[in-house]
Amino acid sequence: MENSKSNKRPEEEEVEYQSGFGNHLASEAIPGALPKGQNSPLICPFGLYAEQISGTSFTSPRNLNLRSWLYRIKPSVTHEPFKRREASHEKLVSEFNNQSKASSTPTQLRWNPPHIPDEPTDFIDGLYTVCGAGSSFLRHGFAIHMYTANKSMTNCAFCNADGDFLIVPQQGRLWITTECGRLQVSPGEIAVLPQGFRFAVNLPDGPTRGYVAEVFGTHFQLPDLGPIGANGLAAPRDFLVPTAWFEESSYPGFTIVQKFGGELFTARQDFSPFNVVAWHGNYAPYKYDLSKFCPYNTVLIDHSDPSINTVLTAPTEKPGVALLDFVIFPPRWLVAEHTFRPPYYHRNCMSEFMGLIHGGYEAKADGFLPGGASLHNCMTPHGPDTKTYEATIARGDEAGPHKITDTMAFMFESCLIPRVCSWALESPLMDRDYYHCWIGLRSHFTGEGTDMKSLSIQNAHDTESGGESMVVNI
């Protein structure tokens, strides 16, 4: 039995959502399936089992406390013992130290987009760690993974005991079935699968790739808005949470693949884990459409720090210091006067991993491609490439308001210093010439006061006499 009444293929079905970030929600696939007045009655409606999933310690302060009650046909415990997966997945890491397969470097790193394999590869097999810091065992740290896949997960579900996944699809939709119901996630949207939830990823479009940030020991929150006020950036009501959906089919040999300490373990059971008929609580998967983001920015001078575009933040115990911020660079108007509008040159005590979902990125005229990635580690200098700098200066102060369109870049920014996995450092996708993009930055120093006009005239002259062509429009 399935609680879907339509004849459409599952991937074509319109999925319904509940809305609101961090809300206490309740959903019934069959009316009356939620117990009334208590969580754990002696006998639950329709003979369901009650099961709690906790996302925080029982005693966490109320404003941080996360848990949900699931009412299911059979409890999760009904499975054979976990075994280490035979063809063990060696490209997942959850502990980063000097014994791990990862090392740190202050060099600016950039990767070209990964190829999607031809051999059948599902989301689990196509997931590999790029970099990270800390430890899932010590409940403090993060990992950044990327995935390429071409095949839906069949007869199996994934469960991450290590941390929360924030998935950023770059190509191809992900139809994610979870214990709380279904999420249909397209490139331009993100999904968060909190620690412990079982889920299966189906690919309605076939080939797919994207990025995943995993946080250990904490969860994503909306950032405080400070002087911005009560509104702006990502609105709580735009976060969508599944409605209860279940399947009752028996599945001989259904496999739960559990990531535990970065290793994969499997356990057999004879039923689908997507057997939750009703649930309530505030711990659940969710998705968010990045085009709903309401960006704020400077309206007179200078360049705002990227924190102004924070969608979600996974905090540390230090106020204002993120274990991992998820920041976007969406389409928006640039209006600042007598200002260098692209990102400034900088060194950051935080570490910055960037990806590009579509279009171009305002600091890089070329070389940073959709599906590609870059890492600028703690205090590693970086900023706009030479072409972007020169084009900006050549345009001078008469740029006027300008809208950046066809773009969606993002950053995972962390206070911890990531180590990069050996396969990512040795990958043929690594752009070994990345540093060239800055080597051409020339001294414009004259020793006399250089005004904007003379700099741009000088630059236009240099360009005519063989300087690089300008391809960005910022």
Ligand X SMILES: O=C(O)Cc1cc(O)ccc1O
Sole window of 73-81, 137-145, 347-355, 458-466 interacting with Fe ion (rule: CB under 5 A): 347-355
CA dihedral 71, 72, 75, 80 (to 10 degrees): -160
Q: Report how many residues bind ligand X under the rule CB under 6 A.
A: 8
HSE-up (13 A, CA, CB side) for residue 96: 25
**136 vs 310 by CB, closer to ligand X:** 310
Q: Are strands 156-160 and 250-260 parallel, antiparallel or unpaired?
A: parallel
Tokens of 323: 């274990």
Query: Is 352 flagged in the annotation as binding?
Result: yes
From ligand X, Fe ion, none, which one binds at residue 277 (CB under 5 to 8 Å depending on kind)? Answer: none
User: Does 110 help bind ligand X (rule: CB under 6 A)?
Assistant: no
> Based on CB atoms, which residue is closest to Fe ion, 352 or 431?
352
- Which SS3 state, helix, strand or coil, does residue 208 take? strand
Q: Is 286 annotated as a binding residue?
A: no
Q: Which one of ligand X, Fe ion, none is in contact with 363 (Cβ closer than 5 to 8 A by kind)? A: ligand X
Token digits for 375? 């890492």
Closest distance between ligand X and the C-beta of residue 376, in Å?
6
Tell me: is residue 435 an annotated ligand-binding position.
no
Q: Which residue is nearest to ligand X (CB)?
A: 343
Q: Which is nearer to ligand X, 217 or 343 (CB)?
A: 343
Report d(CA 401, CA 385) in Å as an integer.
22
Q: Among 116, 411, 420, 421, indicate the residue that binds ligand X (CB under 6 A).
A: 411
Which positions are catalytic?
303
Q: Which is nearer to ligand X, 277 or 363 (CB)?
A: 363
Ranges within 350-369 binding ligand X (CB under 6 A):
352, 363
Q: φ, ψ for residue 164 (rounded to 5)? A: -90, 140
Alpha carbon of residue 273 to chain centroid: 25
Is residue 352 at the binding interface for Fe ion, with CB under 5 A as the rule? yes
Smaller CB separation from Fe ion, 164 or 352: 352
**382 annotated as ligand-binding:** yes
382 binds ligand X (CB under 6 A): yes
390 binds Fe ion (CB under 5 A): no
Q: Which of 343, 355, 371, 418 lies at the binding interface for ligand X (CB under 6 A)? A: 343
Q: Looking up tokens 């690919």, which residue turns up?
A: 203
Measured between its terminal Cα atoms, the distance across the chain in Å is 55
Closer to ligand X by CB, 75 or 106: give it: 106
> Which tokens hold the place of 263?
């290793």
Cβ atoms of 146 and 210 within 8 Å: the answer is yes
Smallest separation (angstroms) from ligand X to the CB of 389? 13
Whole-angstrom CA distances from 264 to 82, 88, 202, 258, 428 are 10, 7, 20, 6, 26
Which among Fe ion, ligand X, none contacts residue 190 (Cβ within 5 to 8 A by kind)?
Answer: none
- Taking CB atoms, the residue at the shortest distance from Fe ion is 352
Burial class of residue 88, CB neighbours in 10 A (0-12, 13-18, 19+) = exposed
Q: With contacts defined by CB under 6 A, name the span among 253-261, 342-350, 418-426, 455-463 that binds ligand X.
A: 342-350
Distance CA 26, CA 276 (A): 12
Could you give the 3-state DSSP secondary structure of residue 227? helix
d(CA 67, CA 448): 64
Annotated binding site: 346, 352, 361, 382
**What is the contact surface with ligand X in residues (CB under 6 A)?**
306, 343, 346, 348, 352, 363, 382, 411
Annotated binding site for homogentisate: 346, 361, 382
**What is the contact surface with Fe ion in residues (CB under 5 A)?**
352
